[in-house]
Chain A
Amino acid sequence: MEEKKITPEEGMQVITQMIEASKQRMSMPNLRISIIWATLAIVTGFIVIALNKVENLPWVSLAWFAIPGVGLPMHINLANKFDNGKVVKTTIDNINEGIWKALGYIAIGVTVICCLMPLDGYSKTWMLMVFYDLVVVGFATAIQGIVIKQKYYIAGGGFSVIWGFAIVALIICDIPVSIDYIMVFYIQAFLVMFIVPAAIIRNKLNSRQKCKN
């Protein structure tokens, strides 16, 4: 694009073209990063179920640290790799970044509470993590869906929030729920919240790209 004088019509055309061009970024990198976190959460969930079957010991819970332990370096690495260093931020990006940053800090706080309080004999503190994983993350996902106008994230987040409240209600009412069932709900929620919406959006983007070509 050269630095040349233009007619008013061409001016309007340039504006329209550039607005269109900067809108074309339903960002795949963000989808991939969320898929990585969700996959890690799901795989760790399966590992915890398996370890619980083999050896029902409290140290099995330490397996959950695999999520931040593996996820954080992968997140940083991928975030740096994508887009070949291109950076563009919209208001929506900033809102999303804020939501997930806040969630990260809450996760750290919840993890510390869940690790420390059982040492004092409060064995049901893990319920807090169920609440966080299903209700808080579900709510954040639904909000993200509203912000980026993606109904699949809204539906997935809503599904997770409902599962989360149902499980917490059962626990509060002292209705026995097997930890295996809770883990299955947890895995389902992460599938529906992140993997399914990302797969649908990816397919849509790919077919849109094919149509263009």
Chain B
Amino acid sequence: MQELNPLLHSQLRLAVMSILMNVEEADFVYLKEKTESTAGNLSVQLDKLASAGYINIEKDMSGKRPRTICSVSDIGRNAFIEYVEALKSYINI
């Protein structure tokens, strides 16, 4: 049985990756709303995913407000696919 990637096997990081796998890019406000997380927690988890190279984070300005836009990287995409495969083997799908 494959081992589950510990970086992805956490509720919030997995939620973020699941959303980003489904869209081209999403900003911090959108991710926060969909995952129903706090800004601080989400920020920490995004940094962890970015440090692992799973997501790309770009910061720009939307009018006067700063905006953080996230997108999944190729490494992240492959890791997520592998994670789902491993998950399937655990729950016998």
Residues of A with Cβ closer than 8 Å to B?
1-6, 8-12, 14-15, 17-19, 21-23, 80, 84-91, 93-94
Asked if residues A6 and B26 are in contact (CB atoms below 8 Å), the reply is no
Question: Hey, what's the 0/1 contact readout for B4-25 against A, CB within 8 Å counting as 1?
Answer: 1000011111110011011111
> In the docked arrangement, what's the CA distance between A12 and B87, Å?
7
Q: Tell me if B29 and A84 are in contact (CB < 8 A).
A: yes
Known: A3-B45, A8-B87. A85 touches B29 (CB 8 A): yes
A15–B45 CA distance with the chains assembled, in angstroms = 16
C-alpha spacing A89/B93, complex, angstroms: 31
Tell whether, in the assembled complex, residue B91 and residue A4 are in contact, meaning their CB atoms are under 8 Å apart.
no
Among A10, A18, A85, A93, the residue within 8 A (CB) of B24 is: A93
Task: Please report the C-alpha to C-alpha distance between residue A4 and residue B45 in the assembled complex, in whole angstroms.
Answer: 11
Name 14 extra pairs, CB < 8 A, besides A11-B4, A11-B87, A22-B18: A2-B37, A5-B11, A9-B91, A15-B14, A18-B14, A22-B19, A80-B62, A85-B65, A86-B30, A86-B33, A87-B69, A88-B26, A89-B26, A90-B24
A3 to B44, CA, bound (A): 10
Give the distance to chain B from A100, nearest Cβ to Cβ, in Å: 17
Question: B84 at the A/B interface (Cβ < 8 Å)?
Answer: yes
Give the residue name and chain of the A residue nearest to B4 (CB): A8
Q: Are A18 and B34 in contact (CB under 8 A)?
A: yes
* Chain A residues with CB under 8 A of B33: 86
A92 to chain B, nearest CB (A): 9
Name the one of A17, A18, A80, A90 contacting B63, with C-beta atoms under 8 angstroms: A80
